[in-house]
Amino acid sequence: MNILTFETNEELNQVGANIIASLVQTNPYSVLGLATGSTPIGIYQELIRQYQNGLVSFKHVTSFNLDEYVGLPEGHQESYRTFMNNQLFNHIDIPMEQTHVPNGNAEDLHAECLSYDEMMSTSKQVDMQLLGLGHNGHIGFNEPDDTLNGGTHLVELKEQTREANARFFNSIDEVPTQAITMGVGTILKAKMIILVVRGKDKASIVKRALQGPITTDCPASLLQTHSNVVVLLDKEAAGELQ
């Protein structure tokens, strides 16, 4: 595990984007696992800048997103499909049919989970999986539990997770109670994982995830078992590490 700490968000964004851009430059047919939320926005903005400057092209890239809320109307501003379109896909040359986000409005949600896994299994191995970190240690929407699902599955969101995401909605009552998420097993199949964490409020869970015991009660701690993890932290998020 390679842990890097940055004084500024600009430096963190630059390094994160450079890792992804270098991968795509080396292998134009890369498969990227992507994440949503506020954490990766700066990295996506830097990737857009590099694309606009002719430094990288995404026209042969395939992407799979980690997760999606269940029950938000198509085109809802806080759906993760809308997020990805607005924050990245609409600003680069990746064909939209090569971008994949779980369908949170599928008639049969369990069948959608199986279909998403099947689509990923018929694609090449994910070359890079981008992750954020929840306050309770969740990655994707894999919440702390006695056991964890390996594949894509339907999950009931913990109240802490819904509260953390309520800032994106008018009230917590509008935050969905369910989501579809890749399982930890699927995440760990990626050749490389980039974990990005920002903020003092994440410092304790960063320490627990990276230096604590490996346990399903902190799903991110399972990243310690992966052979190629790069962790990008601002100095506040790194504040409690030994």
Q: Strand 192-197 to strand 67-69: parallel, antiparallel, or no bridges (unpaired)?
A: unpaired
Distances (CA, A) of 160 to 34, 49, 156: 23, 34, 12
Residue 224: burial class (beta carbons within 10 Å; 0-12, 13-18, 19+): middle
Nearest to 33 by CA among 227, 186, 224: 186
Q: Which of 67, 112, 117, 127 is catalytic?
A: 67
- For 82, the token pair is 């809308």
143 catalytic? Reply is: yes
Inter-helix orientation angle 9-26/41-52, to 10°:
50
Residue 110 a catalytic site member: no
- Asked if residue 100 lies in contact with residue 181, where contact means CB atoms within 8 angstroms, the answer is no
Per the annotation, the verdict on 65 as an active-site residue is no
Rounded to an integer, what distance in angstroms lies between the CA atom of residue 75 and that of residue 102? Answer: 14
Q: Which listed residue (46, 68, 143, 234) is catalytic?
A: 143
Catalytic, out of 136, 142, 153, 234: 136
Q: Any idea which residues carry the catalytic annotation?
A: 67, 136, 138, 143
